[in-house]
Each structure stands twice: as structure tokens, then as C-alpha cells.
Structure 1
Amino acid sequence: MPRRATKQAAASAPAERGADALARYREKRDFAATPEPRGRGAAGRRGAPKKPAPARLRFCVQKHAARRLHYDLRLELDGVLLSWAVTRGPSLVPGEKRLAVHTEDHPLDYLTFEGLIPEGSYGGGAMIVWDEGTWEPEGDPAEGMRRGRLTFRLEGERLAGRWHLVRTGAGKERRASTKENWLLLKSDDEAARAAGDADILAEADTSVRSGRTIEDLKSEGVRRADWDEKQADPKAKPSARTTSSTKAKAARAAKEKPAADPRAALDPATVTGAKRGKLPPFVEPCLATLSEVAPTGEAWLHEIKFDGYRIQARIANGRATLLTRKGLDWTSKFEPLAHALSQIVPGSAVVDGEAVVEDTRGVSDFGALQAALKAGDTGCVVYHAFDLLHLDGVDLTGAPLAERKRLLALLLDDAPAGGAVRLSEHIPGNGEAMKRHACRIGLEGIVSKRADRPYRSGRGEDWRKTKCSARQEFVIAGYVPATNRRKAVGSLVLGVYEGTDLVHVGRVGTGFTEADAKALHDAIEAVHADAPPFAAPLPRAAAAKVRWARPALVAEIELRGWTADGLLRHASYKGLREDKDPREATREAPPADETSAAKKTRARTVAQDPYAGIRLTSPDRVLWEGQGITKQGLADYCAEIADWILPQIANRPLALIRCPAGSQKECFFAKHPWAGLDEAVLTPTIGDDAIVAIRDLRGLMSLVQFGTLEIHPWGSTLDDPERPDRLVFDLDPGEGVGFPEIVDAARTVRERLAADGLESVVKTTGGKGLHVVVPLVPKAGWDEAKAYAAGLAAAMAKDEPARFTDTLAKKARTGRIFVDYLRNGRGATAVAAYSTRARPGAPVATPLAWEELGPEIAPDHYSVTDIPIRLAHLTRDPWAGLDAVKQTLPKAKTSSKAKPRRKPG
């Protein structure tokens, strides 16, 4: 069905919305106190007479100065207003994410409501109609709500063009409760603005109906503007009203009556457990105990575990001092952060939080933080505040956490959105669900805290940390020099304390950038020792070529577990910890909740040679400089995910991208055999061409040995090379196309395939787009497969030429998505699932479940460092059962698209 017909059908067939869609709305309000409309009783009630759907659906955006200023987006559907509280207001910048909290449905009368909701009432504060007009959903809006993705067009006085509302978190079905977190995003179209353009929210602050501002309503005491105006002149048009008189009244009121102190609600002395006390010089921090399973229940609040430095901010006399967990003064290292805190907190306070640097995905990156500190440029540092210990002469450490966080939220209420100081939000209840989600999207883990407990210094059970991977601090006992660089570290020798004894735990040989390797060399040489610092002698092999050091330096290391003899397995360097005492470095138990597939992988790598007998030359050669991932690091990655990647590449002709000197140096394409290959690399002939293929882990490790950073298989196997067993549709964005549009395109391809009776799966590419993959029983030949793919691409381009093109020319792609069907010809390839990419950041092409697609996942979201963590916490393989899908190719939609259209001439 064409998209226009789909929209009309959706508008004419409203869905049932429960016994009374406005029940929750009414339960929250006392209509004897609030001027808000009650709403007509029949809205949404089963069995009530249904009025014809309006020809055009209405919307409004209300500016709402409640406890926190926000904008309420309301969309008319099925006799009510679907409602979201957009915390920072809508943005016209394409792809800029604005949190939109889904709230209860509102009555249609609310479209024109503006006035003063009494303080103490639900949503108390002033409200104006900031924008209004009509909206048009794309597709079935009820289905969009269920799926968690609503795409629509607005025609308002201030907002226009194409928009997306996307529910965050996993799960296809719409939950019964509101307060879900969604994201509001603008599409790149004629109504969009560039990032440096004026902000529409700053440009316009008046009501589009009455011309009033929020301040006008407050100064005039207007209980309900639309009532007041109708009573004065029922025929008067509200939008004709000017603001000159009301602004004059506001100015007079401001002189006569001092503005209310926004900190009045911040009285800490009224909190249970609080007591008067002097501002302390330092509060020893509360530390979390490692837990294998995250606690569950309403008594627990769960926060993201940040990957940075624990920093206590002490604010006094308009100046912030920043202290480490040991009480060291690091204010000079984080000067921009100290300035930001001084501006936000006007009185005195002690705030607990974490200083981090975030990558493009919004994930904290400890290596980037260290780089910023080394460069002396910490303007990029973000402070996530998660606790409030003292405020304006009141000691809050005896108060329950829930109260401390409530006061902290009020204290940071005026902090600039997206600025250097941010509140660490929390979610109550199911910690395991939050941890699984955090691990799947590449975070370090979560911290769970008892909501009812006071702040207790030292390590205890009130705070528990649950990690996505084993990660801890180790003592540096020495290093082995690099084989290909002078005065640089090739690997570190590490230890942990058991009582008073330092115990050897092995080496780490990846994770160092070039700069890291040289800086570590100099730092370790400064604490050089003539003998190993371990309590027990080492085997000769473990001590070979080591330059020893006194146990003075602490390194943070990520590891995948321990070998049977107590040594690190698949470890990676993350940075030096200047804030940690070496004697705090003790062995921590790794997280225990692993999927059976992950356990199987670990069992194999521990039980036998992880590299399957392949000896790596120059294992400390850096392949991805930005992450310091070495050839050994790539080998560790491939060994760990072998069970996942081998089904995608084994027994298939392969094309490879080899970068022997690293991704930042010269790389070249290889699809024919070369000298020196191990016998595990197959070199069969297809037609007249000798090709490369592998069958097992040894073959994969041989490719690693030769610097293979990308693996691109054919869509057919060695057993039947002339008949494909999968199709690939590569969605390649043109200039000006954002990732939300790519996600929409992938779903469109899926729907079109489903209409032909074909199931499909999806993966990120590690580049710019997405791949939609179709498994097939190999019956059709290459020509038929390419014709079908070309026909589907042509149909998409014909039906929606503004969104899609099937033309290869770059010029034709501007503002559109190229539906690349050319991956489906004989000899054509596409990057394999779980293959690394020879690109900055070491991204990995990653299979996803369809419900995982959303704005929080980018094409290069996953990397070598976090894919093993993701896989260990999946409850189900996103591509499970792919080989069991028995479907054959339908006839091509057209036979005229066997070759791509190219530019004339």
C-alpha cells in the first residue's frame, strides 16, 4: 500500500485506547483547584459513539514553567492528545536528540489551554501555547506507538517539516505505564537549521494564541487565559492580542515585588537525618562493593557506572575546589570544570561525582580523559554529579540517598543543558535489566545504591557496582621493551597484592597508543629496580627481557578473565591511575552472568592455544593508533569472538583489506592468494580465479598474522559458488542524511521484503550505513538475485524519490539514501558480521535485533573493545536461526535494472 494511502487509513480508523484514556489524567488533578480542562467523558471509552476522524489532526507545543522549565508536545489522536514533556524543548538541528518523557494522555480542550496551575498541584506553574497547527503521521500511528517509533510531519507557526519520536530501551511492545523516555529528533529538510544557526527557543518566547510570555501570565495572575478572554469578548480572536500592556505590568510588578528565590525549595534543614554543621574540608568517599548480579527492588536506585576520575567538589565563597578520592587537590587540572561549578552553585556545598570525557556516542572514555589531562586541555571534561553531602551549612550525610538526590536535582536545576555539569540520572527497580542494556550498548556497567540509606564513607554493601567486563587496577612491576620502537613499552608485567605480598598475574600487550608506550617507558624507568618486586620467584619465561620497577605505579586494565594458573587473559591497558594507592590493587572476582555461548568461547580459549598454533610476529605493532590496539589485541579479539564470526565467513570466498603497518598507514585490497600463507588458508579456484577462504580458527589467525583488518565474504559458499544463499542491501547515506533516516530506510526495506514473504536481519557496517541481509535457500543464480535486488531498489526510488535513489552517481545521492543492490552480483562482497574495519576507532560491523535499532546506536557504535562485552550479555543471538530460515527468491520486480544507472557520458 502506498504511504499516502496508509496515512489516510490510519486517520480514518482510530484504535481503542482503553476503558477511559483520560483516567490517569484526571486521577492526577484536583479540578476544584486547577483551571486545567477536565475533558469530555467519552474520550477513548470503549463502546462510546465515535465521531468521524478530523480531516487534519491538530498539535500544540506548550511552554511550561513547572519546577523545571520544559515544553509539552501534544499530538491529537483517537479523541485525546498524546503527550510528551520535552525537557530541553524541540531543536531544529537534524539528529540533535531531545529527551521527551511520555506522559498521560490529555483532553482535546488542552490544545488551547494556557494559564497558571497552582503551586503544589501536579505540574504547578505557568503555561502558554508556544506553537500550534496540524500534524500528519507517516504510516499507522498506533503501530508506531507500539513499536516505539513515530515519524510525522508538522505544520505549525514555528515548527514544521519531518520529525521523529523514538522510544529508548529494548522491547517492541508499548508498556502500559507512561513516564517512558523517548527522544525527539528533527529530520534534515527545508525546515531544519544548521548547528550554528539561531535557536528557535531563544528566538520566540511568546504564546502564538495570546501573545503573552510566561512572565506576563505570572505578573497578571491569569488563572486561565482562554477562559478570561472568552468572558471578556467571546468573538475576540486571541492571537490578535498584543503584549505591550502586559509587559509594562510585568515590569511594574517586578519593581514592587522581589522575584521569588528559586532556592527556597532547597531548604536542606527540613530533610530527615540532616543536621547543622560546618563545611568539611573533605569527606572520605563511599565506595561500591563489586557484585556479580545487580540488586532488584524499589529500594534500589541504579545509575550508569562512569569511566573517569572520582571527584569531590567543595564549593565555598563562590569558588570550587576539586578533590580526588584520596583528597588530593586537582582543581588546577580541571579548571574549566571548577569554574562551571562555581557559577552553578551560589552558596556552599560538597558534591560527589565523576569527571569524564565522552566519545561521540556519549560513552565515557578513560583514555580520552587521560589524553586531555596530558595535553592540559580539559575543556571537554564533563562532571556527572550523583550525590550531595553538604549544603549551605547543613550536613546531609545522615539523610537518605533519595532525599540527597532530590536536593541535588534542585541544586542543578539551572545548569545549562548539555553543559559541563550534569545530574547523574537514576532508574529504580530492576538492576539486572538496566545492566544488560548498559552492557549491550557498550557502557562499563552500573552502580546500584540503597535509596533509604545515609552516606557512609568507605566500602560497604549500600552501594554495589556490577561491571560489564572484568576491569580493575594492577601494580606495574616492569615492562618488556617494544620490538619495533625505541624507548617504548611493548608489554607491561603486572601484579596484585595478596596481604603484604605482591603476586605476579601476567602481562598486557595491547591498549597502548604510540604516545602511551613512550610515556610509560619514561615513567617506569623513573622507578627502575634491579630485581623483580614479587614475593615469589618467577619462571624463566615470565622474567625474560623484563625491565623491573618498584611497585609505585598503578594501571587500569580490562580483562576477559583468568587462566587456570591465575594469569590475566585477553587483557588491555586503559590508563594510569594517579588517584589510586598501589596497595589497593587486589584481585577482584569477574562478573559471573555470561551466556552459554560466551562461556563456551572462554572455555575453548583457556583450554587450548588461543591462536590455534599461529605465531604472531611483532605482536606489539599498533594497528589502530587512536585506541592503541595491537596485532596481539586483534588476535585476542578474533579468538574471543571466533564462534560468532566463523559462521559468517567460513567456507566462503573472501576479499580482504590488509594493513600490515596499521590502519593509519597504507592498506590494500587482497582477494587472491599470496606467498607465505599457512595451510589453514584455503586457495581454491572458482572459474579461472584462485581465491582465498578459511574454515577454522587457525585460518582466521593466519589472516590476523598478515595484518587483515577487514573480511568481506561472497554471498555464496565454496560448495555452491554460483548460487547465493544471502542478499545484502547496503543503505548508504548521501550528504545531509542523518542516521535516523537510515534506520527508517532499513525498516522500509524490511517491510518491502516481508511483503514478498522474505525474512531479513540487520547489522551496522562500522562505516556510515546499515546492511539489511536476507538468508536464502541457494536455488536462484546470481543474475536472478541481482535482478530482484535491483527491482526492489528501483521500486523504492520510484515510490519515494525524495528519500531514496538507486543511482550510483554521487551527485544523485545528496540528501537521499542510495539503496545499493550491487552487493548481489557474482564476485561482489559485503563486510562480514563481526569483522573489524580499517577506520579510526576500530569499529566493528555488528548484527542487531530489529528492536535495537534506534538513535542511540550509530553505524560505528561498536568497536573491538566492546563487542566481546556486548556478546557476553546478550540473552539471545540477534541472528539466531538465520541458517534455519528456508526461503527462496521471488521473481524480480523488474528485469530492466540489471545494471546501475550512471551519469550520462
Structure 2
Amino acid sequence: MARATAADLLEPYRRKRDFSRTAEPAGAVAAPAPDGRRRFVVQRHRARRLHYDFRLEIDGVLVSWAVPRGPTLDPGVRRLAVHVEDHPLEYETFEGVIPAGEYGGGDVIVWDAGLWEPHGTDDPGQAVRDGELHLDMAGERLRGRFVLVRSDRNDRDGGRSGSEKEQWLLLHKHDRWAQAGWDAEDHTTSVLSGRTNDEVRARPQQVWHSDLPADRAAVPVAGHAVPGPSEAELAALEELAHLGNEGRWTVHGRTLRVTNLDKVLFPGRDGELPVTKRELLAYAARIAPVLVPYLRGRAVNLHRYPDGAQEKGFWHKEVPPRAPAWLPRWDNPDADPGETKTYLVVDEPAALVWAAGFGALEWHPWTSPTAAPDRPDYALFDIDPGEHTSWEEVVELARLHRTAFEHLQVRAYPKVTGRRGIQVWVPIARGPGFDETREWVERVSRTVGAVLPDLVSWKWQKRDRSGLARLDYTQNAVNKTLVAPYSPRPGPAAPVSTPITWDELEDPELRPDRWTMRTVLDRIAQRGDLFAGVLDHSQTLPTIT
């Protein structure tokens, strides 16, 4: 039986992943180092369950086992190790977040790394196929002689591709590196960055781009981590509500004047109590660490409802003269007389709390940065349902968009609007102007609309659309905006525009207003920030013929 090629060995790995959605490296097969040195990496991986990924460089790939309780230096302990698919060598430095809904979704740190060499064989690949490998490891944490041995002796098919999910044992021999009682969970930081899994999940330091060479594939994520409000800060807001309904609240390092804290801003639903201004302020303070990166360096248009969502709102763009001096802002040099000149820029979390206190229930960032207001770095798709469009029809249109993006090999990120529709953000490298991005979005939209022409109208005026949906490409223009991810919307229970995975389009419980200010933070805690990929602006729009 012919030995599998290195390219064949990576096929199961590639088959399980959609590299338009996950930042993991697609992987190029590498030749062995000329000096014969072999690398290893162990990654602490919090997916559905915590486990350690134990990976050895063999035959140009990383042969991999999942070790639920982690490796140990204790020679009296044997660890279960489940043989999984081989990984590309570039994976040795992967540290970040695999999106929820993708294979292995969760946060990953490089828990240990170093060099290893086989003991008692010159062909470790064959040793793995035979079911027993002895190896000497020289890492920062794992040192000394280890043994990997297949525990299921009945499965010896001679091919590694057929051996996924085999159960093996990993153990350490009695040598000078052995330590009784040694536990991997006593060492929970990355040897690459010094961060914990929690810190990586809060803000991935880099993402992988599979279309780039390995030495340039790791690109820093834009923005910086922002700490959340402290329990003391949140308790102080609660106390203000009981002492007089207004006062001074210090949060995120700024002191804000807050008033009318018990005013109802959103009616309740399903028997819940209505949502007050105090709850909105607390939500703004808590969501700011996640939301600020999407607003930083951009003008923000505010949709204000000072009398609550049950009353008619209005757009407010100009920073008022009474705004605090510390509030970040931007003067638009291209503003004509009578147009808004000074815009809010949410460069820090307290600015978002100020906007909420100002009566802004919706937050809409520009699609271009203040540094280049005529050069967008997002292309926007808006599936705007008409009066007669059902939710099932909205989802069907979204699925067609998903197919279009897959065909074009474009990274695109959907979110429910919190009202009735679905929006999609496509991050792009700064360069094309609004005319070019609008034309590109229109071409994609018209291609999608042609598949279901009975559902879509291209009429400009809503009254002329006969209740049909509109695929609104016209939002791709300067000072045109779509609502920010995680922004509230004016509706019962304060629904939130929430990022979703493309796979969630198949969820029968999906609704555009499914998540609210009271539930979305739990979703983020469980699934992470599903929109984080839009912060990577390295993508160029492909030509549509």
C-alpha cells in the first residue's frame, strides 16, 4: 500500500473548515528542516470542552492528538489522547478565536512549543501507523521522554487518514524531568504571548489569512481591548436610581451627569417589565468593550428617542454645545453650510454611555473612517423586507447572499437587524470610493434578486414597491449608515442588532428581534463576538463579470 502524500494528509483538515469564515491557516505542506529538527506545539483549546491539542511535526504536517486533561510530567499518570486529523505546520503559531459554528469553534492559546526527536526509530510516521511512538521533547513546559501508544490494538489499517478518533495513551517516562503531581491546569498562560484563554477571547491579537504566505499570514486585529465596567461602577448606578433618579456616575474613567434614570424607554414584551434609561446606561457601559472597536475612528449618527421608543425618533448628528469637553469628536472638512459639522466619534467607552444618556437608542457608524471619509472600508448589504415579506422569505434571500459570497470567495458577516431584516457587512481594504463599492454591491444584489424576482422590488420609493423586499445597495454612500452591531433598536424589550453565523440561517428559532439588551450579553459570553472578522480590512473585492 502506497504511503499517503503530505498533501493527502491535510485533506481531512481542509474538508472540515470553511476558510472564508475561520481565521485558521489553510496550510501549505512544508519540507522537513535540513538539519532534521522537528517542531511540536501544544495548544490549550476551549471548544465545546476544554482540551489540549498535542501536535508533532511528521512528514511535513502536524500529526495531532486531542488530550482532554492535558499532558503531564507525572510518570504515574496516563492521559487519554484521541487521534485527530493532521494540521498544517503554520498552525504551530495559531493563537486566537475560531468562530462559533465552525469546526472546533473556541479560543486557542499556544500552551507549549519546542523541538522533539523520535527515539528508537528513524521513521516516526511509520511508528504512528504501527501504533507506538517514543519521543524526546524539549519545550518550555514539556521536557523528557514521552510515549504515545494506541490503546485500540484492533485498529491497524496502516493508514493515518483512517485512524481519526482512535484512542491512544500519552505518558511520561521515569527520567530526570519527571515530576509527581504535575498538572497542565496549573499552567494556563501562552508561551507565545503570555495571555490566558480569557484574554485571547476578549481580544484576539491576530487573525490568520489563508491566502497569504505563512510569514505574512498573521495580521494584527485593529483596535485595542477595552476593560468592562467594574461591579462597583454598576452598583453605583443602581444606587443612584434609589437615591433620587439622577446624579453623577463615574464609569470607564469619566464622570457623567445622568438624569431620569427610571424613565421607561422601551415597553416590555411577553410579560416582562419595561426597560428603563438606567438599564440602557448599564447596557452601554457593559457592551462598550465589544462595540467600541466597530465605532473607533468613525463619525457616528445618533437616532434619538428622548421620550422613549414608543414615540417618534429623530436623527441627531451634531455634537451639542453642552457636551462634555472630553467627548471625542470630528469636524467634517467637507461639510457645506447648514450641514452637520462636528460628529461624535466613540473612541472610548464612556462616549457610548454619554450617547445613551443623550437619548440615542440607536448607534450608526459611518462606513468610512474619519481619516479618509471618501474611502469606505465596508461594503454593506441590506435585506429590507416590505410589508408583505415574510421572515421565511427574508431568510431565503439571506441564504442566496451566502451562496453568492461563497462563490465569490468573499468574507461576509451577517447580523439580524433587531427589527425585521438581515444586514451583511463585507470588510474591504481602503482604496475604492463609494461609487465603486455601491456598483459592486448592486451587481451582487441584482444577481441575487434575479433568482427570486417575485420577492424583490427595485423601486426607490417604498410606496411603489407593492409590499416587496428591497435589496438596498444605496446605503453605500458617504454619511449613509446601517445600525451598528449590538446597538439597541426602538421596539418592545429593547431588541438588539445581533451578529449571527451563516449556519444560524437554518435555525428555526432565529428571529430578527430574538436577542435583547437583557439577553445578548449572555450570548456573547457563550459564543464570543461573531462579528470580529469585519475588523480585518485586508480583503479586496473581486471583479464580477
Native 8 Å contact 1:660 1:707 kept in 2: yes
Unaligned runs of 5+ in 1: 1-145, 148-293, 296-435, 438-592, 894-905
What's the secondary structure of 2:256's corresponding residue? Answer: coil
Native 8 Å contact 2:299 2:330 kept in 1: no
Does residue 673 in structure 1 map to residue 325 in structure 2?
no
Does residue 632 in structure 1 map to residue 278 in structure 2?
yes
> Deviation per CA, 1:778-826, whole angstroms, max 9, x where unpaired?
1100111111112222233334312333333435644643111111111
Does residue 685 in structure 1 map to residue 338 in structure 2?
no
Native 8 Å contact 2:305 2:311 kept in 1: yes
Q: Which amino acid aligns with 1:634?
A: L
What's the secondary structure of 1:828's corresponding residue? Answer: coil
* C-alpha distance in structure 1 between counterparts of 2:482 and 2:437, whole Å: 15
Identify the residue that residue 884 of structure 1 maps to in structure 2.
Answer: 536
After superposition, the CA RMSD in angstroms is 3.1
Identify the residue that residue 526 of structure 2 maps to in structure 1.
Answer: 873
1:277-292 equivalences in 2 (<5 Å)? none
Report the Cα offset of residue 856 of structure 1: 0.6
Identify the residue that residue 80 of structure 2 maps to in structure 1.
Answer: none
Does residue 663 in structure 1 map to residue 309 in structure 2?
yes
* C-alpha distance in structure 1 between counterparts of 2:400 and 2:360, whole Å: 34
What's the secondary structure of 1:656's corresponding residue? Answer: strand
Q: 2:371 aligns with which of 701, 704, 719?
A: 719
Native 8 Å contact 1:750 1:772 kept in 2: no
Q: 1:834 aligns with which of 473, 486, 490?
A: 486
Does residue 753 in structure 1 map to residue 400 in structure 2?
no
Report the Cα offset of residue 879 of structure 1: 2.1
> Deviation per CA, 1:413-445, whole angstroms, max 9, x where unpaired?
xxxxxxxxxxxxxxxxxxxxxxx99xxxxxxxx
Q: 1:777 aligns with which of 402, 420, 429?
A: 429
Greater RCO (CA < 8 Å, at least 6 residues apart): 2
Native 8 Å contact 1:601 1:641 kept in 2: no
Identify the residue that residue 605 of structure 1 maps to in structure 2.
Answer: 230
* C-alpha distance in structure 1 between counterparts of 2:461 and 2:403, whole Å: 26
Q: 2:259 aligns with which of 602, 612, 617?
A: 617
Report the Cα offset of residue 712 of structure 1: 1.0
* C-alpha distance in structure 2 between counterparts of 1:869 and 1:595, whole Å: 18
Identify the residue that residue 734 of structure 1 maps to in structure 2.
Answer: 386
Report the Cα offset of residue 594 of structure 1: 8.1
> Deviation per CA, 1:4-58, whole angstroms, max 9, x where unpaired?
xxxxxxxxxxxxxxxxxxxxxxxxxxxxxxxxxxxxxxxxxxxxxxxxxxxxxxx
Q: Which amino acid aligns with 1:605?
A: S
Query: For residues 684 and 885 of structure 1, do their structure 2 counterparts lie closer, same or farther at Cα, with a shift above 3 Å needed?
Result: closer
* C-alpha distance in structure 1 between counterparts of 2:409 and 2:201, whole Å: 31
Native 8 Å contact 1:787 1:892 kept in 2: no
TM-score, normalised with respect to structure 2:
0.52
Native 8 Å contact 2:330 2:370 kept in 1: no
> Deviation per CA, 1:848-897, whole angstroms, max 9, x where unpaired?
111122231111111111111111212x431233322521123466xxxx
Query: For residues 607 and 777 of structure 1, do their structure 2 counterparts lie closer, same or farther at Cα, with a shift above 3 Å needed?
Result: farther
Q: Which amino acid aligns with 1:651?
A: G
Between Structure 1 and Structure 2, how many residues are aligned? 307
Q: Which amino acid aligns with 2:298?
A: R
Query: For residues 639 and 596 of structure 1, do their structure 2 counterparts lie closer, same or farther at Cα, with a shift above 3 Å needed?
Result: farther
> Deviation per CA, 1:235-293, whole angstroms, max 9, x where unpaired?
xxxxxxxxxxxxxxxxxxxxxxxxxxxxxxxxxxxxxxxxxxxxxxxxxxxxxxxxxxx
What's the secondary structure of 1:870's corresponding residue? Answer: helix
What's the secondary structure of 1:752's corresponding residue? Answer: helix
Query: For residues 869 and 758 of structure 1, do their structure 2 counterparts lie closer, same or farther at Cα, with a shift above 3 Å needed?
Result: same
* C-alpha distance in structure 2 between counterparts of 1:662 and 1:603, whole Å: 26
Identify the residue that residue 796 of structure 1 maps to in structure 2.
Answer: 448
Report the Cα offset of residue 755 of structure 1: 2.8
Native 8 Å contact 2:300 2:366 kept in 1: yes
Identify the residue that residue 214 of structure 2 maps to in structure 1.
Answer: none
What's the secondary structure of 2:262's corresponding residue? Answer: coil
Q: 2:396 aligns with which of 720, 744, 747?
A: 744
Report the Cα offset of residue 602 of structure 1: 7.3
* C-alpha distance in structure 2 between counterparts of 1:842 and 1:666, whole Å: 15
* Comparing 700-709 and 848-857, the one that deviates more: 848-857
TM-score, normalised with respect to structure 1:
0.32
* C-alpha distance in structure 1 between counterparts of 2:198 and 2:466, whole Å: 44
Query: For residues 675 and 635 of structure 1, do their structure 2 counterparts lie closer, same or farther at Cα, with a shift above 3 Å needed?
Result: same
* C-alpha distance in structure 2 between counterparts of 1:649 and 1:888, whole Å: 21
What's the secondary structure of 1:615's corresponding residue? Answer: strand
What's the secondary structure of 1:777's corresponding residue? Answer: coil
Q: Which amino acid aligns with 2:522?
A: I
Native 8 Å contact 1:658 1:669 kept in 2: yes
Same amino acid, percent of matched pairs = 31
* C-alpha distance in structure 1 between counterparts of 2:517 and 2:544, whole Å: 38
> Deviation per CA, 1:519-553, whole angstroms, max 9, x where unpaired?
xxxxxxxxxxxxxxxxxxxxxxxxxxxxxxxxxxx
What's the secondary structure of 2:538's corresponding residue? Answer: coil
Report the Cα offset of residue 633 of structure 1: 0.8
1:18-37 equivalences in 2 (<5 Å)? none
Native 8 Å contact 2:261 2:277 kept in 1: yes
Unaligned runs of 5+ in 2: 1-15, 18-47, 50-99, 102-196, 204-224, 234-249
Q: Which amino acid aligns with 1:676?
A: R
Native 8 Å contact 2:487 2:496 kept in 1: yes
